[in-house]
Amino acid sequence: MWELFLKSFLTLFVVVDPVGLVPVFLALAGDRPPQRQAQIARKAVLVAGGLLVCFFFFGRGLLEYLGISLEALRVAGGILLFRIATEMVFAHHERETAEEKDEARERADISVFPLAIPLIAGPGALASVLILGGEAREVPGGSAVVFLTAFLVLFLAYLFLRGAASVRRALGRTGVNVVTRVLGILLAALAVQFVADGVRGLL
């Protein structure tokens, strides 16, 4: 169970990347009052959490309906996570496009888009939750462990968003870039492991 906890926490933490959310959040909401920033951060995390919970419970049934095996999802999820990892390492963040950024600035509410989706609960996080959920069924109390780690990661994301300005001052732009790259390397290793487990299961 401890191993599942560590794996779930590390996977979700590097995928959601709370530290990497800081500069994006400041770019989108940095000019808004602190109280409004707190409301945006809270709503974004709640929406993302709800989406992850829904995918945890109903994602497997959807895969079965479509005839997709969990092993195939592991391979696909690993490839997707590896792409995200390379973007983190080489500083090519493409979790939102330029058009999405412009649209976000024009909208009054940015908490759902692009913060909750796709920045917090993006394709990588959804795939990770589904894969971890499949592994959790083989461990007594595993589902509760995955829920706990998801809650912890989302809570950390909320704290980083709430203290975005303070985090940027404390770490500096260089510090944020270093943390993001280190998390990218860890995510790349996890992605390779996902692919290896999936290929082993398919064979």
Domain spans, the chain? 2-202
Average per-residue pLDDT for the chain: 83
pLDDT band at residue 80 under the 50/70/90 scheme: confident
Angle 156-34-163 from CA coordinates, rounded to 5°: 25
The 10 Å Cβ neighbour count of residue 11 is: 27
pTM score of the predicted model: 0.72
Query: Residue 90: pLDDT above 50?
Result: yes
**E strand intervals along the chain:** none
Give the model confidence (pLDDT) of 136-178 as tens digits. 888 889 999 999 999 999 999 999 999 987 877 787 878 877 8
Q: Mean of the pLDDT values across residues 95-114?
A: 60
pLDDT tens-place string over residues 95-104? 445 555 555 4
